[in-house]
Structure 1
Amino acid sequence: MLPFQDLSDNKDNSGFGAGIQDDVLTSLAQIHDLKVISRTSVVAYQKPDGRNMRAIGRALGVANVLEGSVRRAGNRVLVNVQLIDARHDRHLWAERYDRTVADSIGLQGELATQIAVALKATLAPEEKARLSVKPTDNSEAYVLYLTALGKKDEIAAEELCVQATALDPTFASAYARASLLNSVIAGYEQPRVRKAKARAQAEEALRLAPTLGEAHMALGLCLYWGDRKYDAALKEFQLAAAASPNNAWIYNYVGGIYRRQGRWREAVASFDRAVSLDPRNVEMIFAAANNRLFMRDWAGATARFSQLLEIKPKSSLTKIALAYLAVSRGGEPGASQTLLRDVPEDADGLVTLTRWDLAMLARDYATAEKILRDFTSKDFGSKDFQKTSCQGRTALARGDIESARRYFAEATPIMESWAHEDPDDPDRHAELGLLYAYMQGKEEALRECRRAIELAPESQDAFHGALFQGDLALVYALVGEADQAITLIERLLSTPGALSWPISPQNITLADLRLRWEWDSLRSNPRFQKILAAPEPKTALTTIAQTKR
């Protein structure tokens, strides 16, 4: 379903046409007998002029394409739609709807039903029932909701949904959409407040409409991201998928849960399913690529990230990922540096930080020092990447203990304050633990890393739990506990999830162990020498027994 052309003259109607398209798409996604491509993948075909239906069909992997236009003038809405056989570029069906805004409520279900009939798709009785339900009887609330669907600004969209529910307190779809938006917003603003709002909105949506797929997805996301109750979240997503089998986000979230449950093969299938339904959505492909990387499937990850680069050729983040993969596959930091040669610097310094890390991997400390010196900001866009901390690590690698202490002393209060802001975040404890280890604060380092492991044990989170075990292995190496470090390395080297990117000295890969200076204290140990001399072991994808949460 291609983006509808919005022919409305009034700028106040901005987003209305996109909202109509999104609402129809949501209805079509409920039909099991159809494969429906998600909205993100069709945005590239926004302009109607010069559309090549055969090429679009091939690119999206579909046989039929729906296109249309929307015009809103005052209280009237005009919608024109046509269904096209993309393989033969011929019209299959067309319809024109000229209605008042109030009468257009429920049009999305009517349209989806007519399209299904035109395509000879089977509609189950429960699908017919869902498609016949009007989301609201309040036209003003419906316009606000549609406008929210067309908004890119998540905070503004959530406010519009809240306004819609104020006009119609029985508007379940608006509550569900507001909840989904708040779960996303919680990742960057007022996490506790936003998570609480998301949960309340999801529960209200389900109270009003117990079979609404979006409501189950909203509650599933609260349980997944907010509460880390993976089994409960999975049940909600399964209910959501039953009601909306073409919603790519559901399979993306399920893939993330499977990964945390140690069900890596199932995670691959779920992420791939999400990509098949939204083949040009960079977030979907990125998640699928990362999943392959965390499994040490270097070839599979490289293929997915290369697919991303075809869609966004100028993506710095994708090029950074490919640079690290080049190190993991061949162990040559110099080759990776050439991949970033023409990449411009970014505002948060991630490209600079990566160049510094690759120089550290190559043990070119003079270049690493210069890269940091030339970077004028104090941090790299987040508190866990402090410039002074990186300078301390560079000085320590060069053997300049006095300078390292000075840099670490400057970074410590910032990192401690950041960790104390959210004491239930294991990442913050792990990062603080590594800083203490670089400073030879053995007791403090072990305390923080063990706290991270307590908050995210492998038995409850096979993905992050393995990464935090890698943090502990590095801490052991830095504070002189060689045997304990090597024992962990021997296990983690074949454990999925014990690696990340960018700037992850705790990565347990053969390339990282061979190249990073942080492991130098182990190099005279025969057990470690044996690890380095052997080929990288195959990553074991067996399921870890989960502790119920």
Structure 2
Amino acid sequence: MAEAAVEAAARLRPDAGETHMARARNLYWGKQDYNAALAELELASRTLPNDPQLFELKGYIERRQGRDDDAIRNLERAIELDPRNAGILTQVAISYHNTRRYAQERSAHDRILSLTPNDPSAQLGRAFVEFEEKADVRSYQQAVESIRRTNPTAIRDIANDWLLCALAERDTKAATDALTAAGGDSFGLAYADNVRFNRPFVEGVIARMSNDEVKARAAFAAARAEQEKVIQAQPDNAEALCVLGLIDAALGRKEEALREGHRAVELLPVEKDAKHGPNMNKYLAMSAAWLGDKNLACEQLAIAVSRPNDLSYGQLKLLPTWDPLRGDRCFEQIVNSLAPR
């Protein structure tokens, strides 16, 4: 449908900058053909040299190509041209976050807050920086509590953040309350992560955190049944496969878990998608850790942290999902490499 609309526009105004922009969007979002999309943006720039959307899209494409410095320059240019666009500022903050430029990320969040001071996501984004950079959950937890107290209608929207706080604090009651408040069936275990987990999976993580192994295994079995349906419909979906691999790791199904995790890495390598690909290595590392294969876990974790992505000191230091690696020399070296200086 999108392609038909683009071609219709091309017939009417084949040389218009807007037509080349539309083609670039379709190539980026619909086909993941990043070089062709950039070529269309180059043509669009001849008649739209100061269009912030052009620089914004160019930044997104370069981020997927692993050209993060170029991506940040173009996103910053987009903000210069459209300084009150909180959406672009949020993407700039994400790029700073993924490249662990936390001081710049704070500044970006401060600008977002100046534009949208009452937006819960803006408030949490600023507080989350302390958690990620310093493994300090206090500001994050205080922001969650403040929103719960003063803006109860937003609780469902912030439930995933509430859940992450509770997991970091090993607070099983708060984690369960957050899960109940969420109401949905899609959860992330990190900031701006493209990998989503179903409700039974999170129930399993909470149960295991509280050492209730019977409840944990029942929850992970239910999570597996749900995730298999996703895989049947989308057998080559890398994100869905890495989730299934982690579920199988939780159930001790080593052969299946490692096969699924490696397949996810093959389907979405960092060379294909530098923004989301490292998450496949991250969750393969987590699967290996849960299975007791610390060598593979550290190997994959080292790959993940060597690339710009959301993996942080705070996550590795505080989240219970990394507990099987605590005390391991290689793991602790990786954690310390991300510690604030």
Normalising by structure 2, we get a TM-score of 0.89
Cα deviation, residue 378, structure 1: 5.4
CA contact (8 A) 2:166 2:172 kept: yes
Relative to structure 1, the CA distance from residue 348 to residue 219 in structure 2 (aligned partners, 3 Å threshold; closer, same or farther) is: farther
Task: Write the deviation string for residues 317-368 of structure 1: whole angstroms up to 9, x where unpaired.
Answer: 2223223211012211133100222213557834122112111112223432
SS in 2 for 1:513: helix
**Which runs of 5 or more structure 2 residues have no equivalent in the other structure?**
189-194
1:512, 1:477 → 2: CA distance?
Answer: 15
CA contact (8 A) 1:220 1:233 kept: yes
SS in 2 for 1:243: coil
How many pairs does the alignment contain? 332
Aligned match of 1:307? 111
Cα deviation, residue 381, structure 1: 8.2
Larger Rg belongs to: 1
Aligned match of 2:191? none
1:363, 1:351 → 2: CA distance?
Answer: 18
1:364, 1:229 → 2: CA distance?
Answer: 44
SS in 2 for 1:235: helix
Relative to structure 1, the CA distance from residue 334 to residue 441 in structure 2 (aligned partners, 3 Å threshold; closer, same or farther) is: farther
Relative to structure 1, the CA distance from residue 251 to residue 423 in structure 2 (aligned partners, 3 Å threshold; closer, same or farther) is: farther
**Which runs of 5 or more structure 1 residues have no equivalent in the other structure?**
1-196, 500-506, 539-549
Q: Does 1:522 align with 2:329?
A: no
Matches within 5 A, 1:128-143: none
Aligned match of 1:377? 183
Aligned match of 2:223? 411
Amino-acid identity (%) = 31
For residue 261 of structure 2, the aligned residue among 434, 442, 449 is: 449
Relative to structure 1, the CA distance from residue 224 to residue 535 in structure 2 (aligned partners, 3 Å threshold; closer, same or farther) is: closer
1:237, 1:433 → 2: CA distance?
Answer: 38
Cα deviation, residue 533, structure 1: 4.3
* Higher mean C-alpha displacement, 273-282 vs 263-272: 273-282
Matches within 5 A, 1:37-436: 197-343=1-147, 344-345=151-152, 349-372=156-179, 374-375=180-181, 377=183, 379-380=185-186, 384-436=196-248
Cα deviation, residue 450, structure 1: 2.5
Cα deviation, residue 482, structure 1: 0.2
Cα deviation, residue 256, structure 1: 0.8
CA contact (8 A) 1:350 1:380 kept: no
Cα deviation, residue 392, structure 1: 1.0
Q: Which has the higher strand share?
A: 1
1:222, 1:535 → 2: CA distance?
Answer: 37
For residue 487 of structure 1, the aligned residue among 299, 324, 336 is: 299
1:371, 1:240 → 2: CA distance?
Answer: 46
1:520, 1:393 → 2: CA distance?
Answer: 12
Relative to structure 1, the CA distance from residue 347 to residue 435 in structure 2 (aligned partners, 3 Å threshold; closer, same or farther) is: farther
CA contact (8 A) 1:378 1:388 kept: no
CA contact (8 A) 1:259 1:463 kept: yes
Flag as ranges the 4+ runs of structure 1 deviating above 4 A: 345-348, 380-383
Task: Write the deviation string for residues 281-306 of structure 1: whole angstroms up to 9, x where unpaired.
Answer: 12111111111111111111121122
Q: Which has the higher helix share?
A: 2
Cα deviation, residue 310, structure 1: 1.1
SS in 2 for 1:415: helix
2:153, 2:237 → 1: CA distance?
Answer: 27
Relative to structure 1, the CA distance from residue 378 to residue 233 in structure 2 (aligned partners, 3 Å threshold; closer, same or farther) is: closer
Cα deviation, residue 385, structure 1: 4.2
Normalising by structure 1, we get a TM-score of 0.57
SS in 2 for 1:375: helix
SS in 2 for 1:225: helix
The residue type equivalent to 1:518 in the other structure is T
CA contact (8 A) 1:353 1:380 kept: no
Aligned match of 1:93? none
* Higher mean C-alpha displacement, 528-537 vs 390-399: 528-537
Task: Write the deviation string for residues 172-223 of structure 1: whole angstroms up to 9, x where unpaired.
Answer: xxxxxxxxxxxxxxxxxxxxxxxxx111221232244331111111111111
RMSD: 2.4
Cα deviation, residue 376, structure 1: 7.5
